[in-house]
Amino acid sequence: MIIGVDFDNTIVCYDGIFHRVALERGLIPADLPQDKTTIRNHLRQIGQEPDWTEMQGYVYGPRLIDAQAYPAVLDFFRAAVKQGVEVRIVSHKTKHPFLGEQHDLHAAAWGWLEANGFFDPARIGMRRDQVFLELTKESKHQRIGTLGCTHFIDDLPEFLLDPGFPVGVERIHFDPCGTARPENGLRSAQSWSQITGELLVNPSVLDLACSVLSGAEINFKPVSGGANNRIFHAMAASGEVIIKAYHHSTADQRDRFAAEQHFYHLDLPATPQPLAWDAENRLGAFSVIHGRKLTTDEVTAEDVQQCIEWISGIQKARQHHEAADVALAADACLSIEDHISLVERRVKRLLDIGEDHGDFRSFVSEALAPHVEDMAARLREVAGALLDVPLPMEHRVLSPSDFGFHNALKDEAGKLWFFDFEYAGWDDPAKLLCDFFCQPQVPVSIEHADRFLETLQMAVGDEDLPARYKMLLPLHAAKWACILLNEFLKPDAERRRFAGLQDRRVAQLEKARAMLAKSISFC
């Protein structure tokens, strides 16, 4: 990861110094807000734009030394250097002002960086050859590409959206005033604390890694693929470890950390070994599994059999005392009515969304909701008096809940290793089966269902399982269509931002259409 950062109005905040200089020159009333844009607009409105232009050269020149850094930006650079993350400063900055005295703007920028400790090993510790002051916008674009930046942070959305901006670079709009337009597709951040939290390793992660790896010098590499959490691969001379930071917010009632921790207490086979837990900071440290995720085309009957055997095997822990600490799985369904109500609630959440995006509203209201309504009516009629009867405890399963090849790695020996149990708990085996064959990330052919069904039925001794599974399969396919539209829900979008993912709403809407078609085909 190489993070490039703009200088003016991204690292340096000019609001206070522009206000001070404008007051010194008698250009503005004292009660005008300390905001650079407000000052500029005021001077333009009273016909004094030349004064504004000349004042810019003065502020960016000899008075730059008086400008403040944005809150927490120095902490960001300090943490990046400490963690071994490559950072570069790339600025479009002319050598001299367009109007007024010809101050040396480059010398002023270098002086500000020096004064704020950027090149002092005891404060930040960057090197001078990591700073680039480019004379044109085009050369700034070129420099970002030449440096191999993976991310670039800038206050100007028009610069990030320019056709000349290098392809493949993650564009982050620094937006301290919160004026970003979501429709432009840019990832935005309103503070440097937010950027630090999203791109760098926080101190608690560093401390946990040091405790496991004996305090050695550690390098961190973010691991992609987590849709809700942040995952890091920590490497040192003494070994390696995976650190998982669990997302948590008041809008999301699921305690993902506790759910996964309790599930791991069952002594699960073929999973990363938990090495340490930090409950206060919601962190887990795990052994590293060297393998790769399979694509749909790569999944074989033998791979599916490993999944079947793993699920069947963990049911042996149902009688262990540790199983008593395992809560219900996320969205657990213990009656037919539970299954129906779960999907109805998901549809209602989507119908209650105020904003529209493409064909989202029409798809939900005219296609998805009517289909679920018809299925719910039929299921309630078929279930009759058994609608609210709870599933007996002996017929419930220990379920990882979000189970499939998207949460598995295959090693060189062909063995599958399973992970991600933050939704795990007690549940209906019919729901486990439905989810396995409906999950969209690495779809599994329904032709394997009978074999999985037979094995799971033997494990729990539930003679009604086959009929219940076949009855509920179309309903849960529709549920997955709803899940694919979670991008339109605020708490879920916040989790994606925590994990560092981009807006995926258009793509998810198309996937939801395909899942609805699958649900209809199952009916």
Q: 3-state SS string over 387-431?
A: CCCCCCHHHCEEECCCCCHHHEEECCCCCEEECCCCCCEEECHHH
Percent with pLDDT over 90 in the chain: 63
Average pLDDT on 452-479 reads 96
Distance of alpha carbon 517 from alpha carbon 475, whole angstroms: 12
DSSP state of 44: H
> Distances from the Cα of 459 to the Cαs of 187, 314, 456, in angstroms?
47, 10, 5
Neighbouring CB atoms inside 10 A of 104's CB total 14
pLDDT at 495 over 70: no
Poorest-pLDDT segment among 195-209, 382-396, 469-483: 195-209
Half-sphere exposure of 427 (CA within 13 A, CB side): 24
Q: Which two tokens stand for residue 55?
A: 């004042």
What confidence tier does 65 reach under pLDDT thresholds 50, 70, 90? very high
- Residues 225-262 pLDDT 10s: 555 678 889 888 889 999 998 887 666 677 899 999 99
Average pLDDT on 194-199 reads 85
Q: Which two tokens stand for residue 386?
A: 């058994």
pLDDT at 48 over 90: no
Average pLDDT on 269-281 reads 95
User: Which three-class secondary structure string do you get for 81-122?
Assistant: HHCCCEEEEEEECCCCCCCCCCCCHHHHHHHHHHHCCCCCCC
487 versus 340: the higher-pLDDT residue is: 340
pLDDT at 383 over 80: yes
pLDDT at 219 over 60: yes
**For the chain, how far is it from start to end, CA to CA, in angstroms?**
47
Q: Which two tokens stand for residue 163?
A: 């056709």
- Residues 298-315 pLDDT 10s: 999 999 999 999 999 999
Half-sphere exposure of 454 (CA within 13 A, CB side): 6
**Tokens 């480059």 sit at which residue?**
106
What confidence tier does 28 reach under pLDDT thresholds 50, 70, 90? confident
- Residues 123-136 pLDDT 10s: 999 999 999 999 99
Give residues with Cβ within 8 angstroms of 520, minimum separation 6: 371, 474
Note whether 38 and 58 are within 8 A (CB). no
User: Which three-class secondary structure string do you get for 197-239?
Assistant: HHHCCCHHHHHHHHHHCCCCCCEEEECCCCCCCEEEEEEECCE
pLDDT at 354: 74
pLDDT at 216: 57
| CA atoms 465, 471, 476, 479: torsion sign | negative
pTM: 0.69
95 versus 429: the higher-pLDDT residue is: 429
pLDDT at 27 over 90: no
Q: What average pLDDT is seen over the chain?
A: 90
Poorest-pLDDT segment among 19-23, 109-113, 154-158, 334-338: 19-23
pLDDT at 337 over 90: yes
pLDDT at 503: 58
Note whether 99 and 58 are within 8 A (CB). no
What confidence tier does 493 reach under pLDDT thresholds 50, 70, 90? low
What confidence tier does 501 reach under pLDDT thresholds 50, 70, 90? very low
Q: What angle do CA 149, 151, 153 make, to 5 degrees?
A: 115
- Residues 343-364 pLDDT 10s: 999 999 999 987 777 789 999 9
Residue 427, strand partner residues: 397
Distance of alpha carbon 140 from alpha carbon 90, whole angstroms: 7
What would you report as the CA-atom Rg of the chain, rounded to the nearest whole angstrom?
28
Give residues with Cβ within 8 angstroms of 72, minimum separation 6: 191, 192, 193, 196
